[in-house]
Amino acid sequence: MFRSHRSNLIALAEINDQLFTEVSTEQAAVVEGGLQVVLTSIRCIRAGGGSDQVFASFNGNAASVLNGPDLTASRPKVMTAGASSNIFTKGIGTNPAIGVVVRLRDKSAPQGKTSLGGFTIRQPGSGKRAFQLNGSSYEVGFLAFA
């Protein structure tokens, strides 16, 4: 059975749409082999000044709702010493040589950006990282995959 010229053009247009779809920066990073990091838990060992309004940043960019529901700049988590929580916040690294730089920041601090410390993940794996800075001390659980 032969297709008409018109049906061939329609089929080619559909193939073209499938092959040349625009992708977001995060989707492109995954296609290019970027590392994805999901923060899975947070535990406050000590909060400078009694409490912190914690949000995450990935490679210098504050987490937004596109990163997940937790630890975003618009929805920081109030943490006090001894508090812990299961969370879901995702970041993507676009440069394998750099990896993903994860930082926790305190929104309640002056200018809303005081760093509470952080760490860099360069390869797939999982674990917990503890760090301290500016009077606060945290432990963060993560899962990293390519």
Residue 14 domain-assigned (yes or no): no
pLDDT of residue 130: 97
pLDDT of residue 109: 83
Q: What is the domain extent for residue 64?
A: 22-145
Residue 16 domain-assigned (yes or no): no
pLDDT of residue 13: 67
What is d(CA 88, CA 126) in angstroms, rounded to the nearest whole number? 14
Q: What is the pLDDT of residues 5-51, one digit of tens each?
A: 666 666 666 665 655 555 554 444 445 558 999 999 999 999 998 99
Residue 123 per-residue DSSP state: S
**How high is the mean pLDDT of the chain?**
84
Residue 35 domain-assigned (yes or no): yes
Q: How far is CA 11 from CA 2, 3, 6, 16, 96, in A?
A: 13, 10, 9, 9, 38
Q: What is the pLDDT of residues 101-145, one digit of tens each?
A: 999 999 988 776 789 999 999 999 999 999 999 999 999 999 999
Residue 4 domain-assigned (yes or no): no
Contact in structure between 37 and 63 (CB atoms under 8 Å) = no
Q: Is 71 exposed, middle or buried (0-12, 13-18, 19+ CB in 10 A)?
A: buried
Residue 58 domain-assigned (yes or no): yes
Residue 59, pLDDT above cutoff 50: yes
Compute and round to an integer the Cα radius of gyration of the chain.
21
Q: What is the pLDDT of residues 68-90, one digit of tens each?
A: 888 998 899 999 999 999 999 99
**Domains contained in the chain, number:** 1
Close Cβ partners of 92 (under 8 Å, ≥ 6 residues apart): 26, 29, 30, 34, 35, 36, 37, 58, 100
Choose among 87, 98, 140: nearest CA to 117. Answer: 140
Residue 8 domain-assigned (yes or no): no
